[in-house]
Chains A and B, each alone.
Chain A
Amino acid sequence: MSALLPIALITFKEGTRNRSFYGISLLALLLMGASFFISGMVIRDVGKVAVDMALSTVSFAGLLLVLFVGIDLMAKDLDKRTIYMVLARPISRQQYIVGKFLGISLLVVGTVFLLSIFGAISISAIKWANPDYFPRFSWGLVFLAEAFIAVSLILLSAMSFLFASVSSTSFLTLILTIMSYIIGHSLSSVKALVEAPQAAGITVSPLTVKLVQAAYFLFPNLSLFDIKMQAAHGLSLPMTYIIWTLCYGIVYICLVILFAALLFRKKEFP
């Protein structure tokens, strides 16, 4: 444990000082500001638009952070060999992976927290200007949606670690992570479609059904963490759904990092 903290802290510090981090934060702030003006142009459902805009901004900025800061932090270590500075210490490759992952997770949580504050300010301002359009609004649901966004982004980071452990270039890691994101968000809909193709009036081969079912179990189901619509409409979620989704996320993250650490054991740094 004593080796993990220094790695996590330097990763977090390096991440927060990265120029891309400031760019992403500025973009998020601009989008939050824009939502105030956009809500002024909407005739109905101002509350839903405000919540959806705030949560989408947090989610989008977090995704950019994982793809362009998180992957870069790992890639630089491997491409420019800054990893020597870490592995020359009494630190194993597995400890390096876990420490680095903790640092990036801390960065994701910190960023989502910061953006959530800006989101709350944006929603509060719109709510203050249009109090009649927030009949079923719930701060609890908004914060829960933001917590789910943080978990899904940490899960995506874990996937990027897994890909970085096996791929030879950071570009390949980036592509595979983007693919995981897209698959993770669309797979449950695709699975529902191929399992009941008659509803859509199409035919699907049994092989395709098996492939989609296999992919469903291999890739993380990120759509589970997307509760923006429920938060925007003020629809409550069953406690069992919340607990099971969080458990799914945590278990998936632990398994992926464990697997990444096992693969990283074999990696050489010539």
Chain B
Amino acid sequence: MTSVVSARGVSKHFGAVRAVDEVSFEIEQGKILGLIGPNGAGKTTLLKAVLGLTDCDGELSVLGLDPFKQRKELLKNICFIADVAVLPRWIKVTQLLEFVESVHPNFSRKRAEGFLSQTKVRSDAKVRELSKGMVVQLHLSIIMAIDAKLLVLDEPTLGLDIIFRKEFYSNLLNDYFDEKRTILITTHQVEEIENLLTDIMFINDGKILLDSPMEAIADSYVELTTSGEDAIKARGLGPIAEHEMFGKSVLLFEGVSRENLGGLGELRTPSVADLFVAKVKGARK
């Protein structure tokens, strides 16, 4: 597998605050990695370092390039949507397409116009005249028309209604993603994207709490819903987290086989959101 992003001991300090703290990871080609973390965890700083928008300590290589020093070269093969509001409001859709076509060697205007024709975005409209959802559609149409190797999405659907959010990810998967591309995505609405992720990474206080393929989550983690005597027995097996739901105890285990827990209650693979909460709370203890 080709490594698209390779980080070795990457740190970024803002004064005394360690936004990213000695982080090491690899992202391989063809993966959709979800980077999940609470506000202020260091997600955006890490993404900015990957995009070459901020410098950092340690070794960071993206598509074999130093992102900060070789940003222009890098941005020919990497795209990002940092936030829904970043398209300039004064620009016309046609001007935007013309500009990207002029500066981006891997952009296909025809492809972008094809995507836009499936939306209600008028080509003579200015960005300020478009709804928030339409601005995202426009941005996504541009991004999907760029033949990039890595796509970075930082809260791409923030503030959008559920229909636009579903459409966004559906377009991304059906019209864009293939085994040669890699997507790195952060979002708070983790439950909406967990089905499309191939890998997941949790970050908190600048440190990585979990870095795992999605299919390994089911092997490593199990959630047990139980009560009474069984709950007491289960607690003896060292759950990493526990909460109450409808009068029952919900315990989360890491590295405990399902056979050991089978007779104690109902088993299921934890959701990413539950796992995330357990990991973050565990790290704070």
Partners in one complex: no
